[in-house]
Amino acid sequence: MSSEEKRVEEGLDSATKEINSNELESVEIINKEPEIEEDEKSQALPKVKESSNLHSSLVDKLTQAKIAAGMKHEEYLQVHKELEETTVNFMRLENNIVKTTVDTSLTLLEELGVQNLENGLKEAKEIVQENKAELLQIKSISKGNIKAFFFGAIGAVATAIGLTAFGAKLAALPLNSATLLQSSNLETIATKVADLIKIKDTPIAGYLLVGAVSFLVGLLIYNLVKFLQKKKNIRYVNNLESDVQTYEEQLNEKVEKSHELNEHLDHIKLVMQKYDIILQEQNAKLRRMQFIEQPVEGVNSLQRASQIEVEKTVLILDELLKLMNTEVNDNLDITQESKEQLHSANSIINEVIKKLYI
* One pLDDT digit (tens) per residue for the chain, 358 residues: 444 444 435 544 554 445 344 443 443 433 444 444 444 333 333 333 343 377 788 888 888 888 888 898 999 999 989 999 999 999 999 999 999 999 999 999 988 888 766 555 544 555 656 667 777 777 777 888 899 999 999 999 999 888 888 888 787 787 776 666 677 777 777 787 777 777 776 778 888 888 888 999 999 999 999 999 888 888 888 888 888 888 899 899 999 999 999 999 999 999 999 999 999 999 999 999 999 988 888 888 889 999 999 999 999 999 999 998 888 887 788 899 999 999 999 999 999 999 988 8
**AA identity, residue 335:** T
Last-in-domain residue among 239, 265, 297? 239
CA–CA distance, 129 with 141 (Å, rounded to integer) = 35
**Same structural domain, 133 and 258:** yes
Say how many domains are in the chain. 2
The CA dihedral of 60, 64, 66, 69, to the nearest 10 degrees, is -160
Examine the fold and report which residue of 205, 239, 273 is the final residue of a domain before the chain moves on. 239
Residue 335: count of CB within 10 angstroms of its CB: 14
CA distance from start to end of the chain: 126
Domain coverage including residue 272 = 53-118+127-138+249-356
Q: Is the same domain home to 300 and 343?
A: yes
Are 223 and 267 in a shared domain?
no
Residues 150 and 134 in one domain: no
Domain boundary among 239, 271, 294: 239
Would you call 226 exposed, middle or buried from its count of C-beta atoms within 10 A (0-12, 13-18, 19+)?
middle
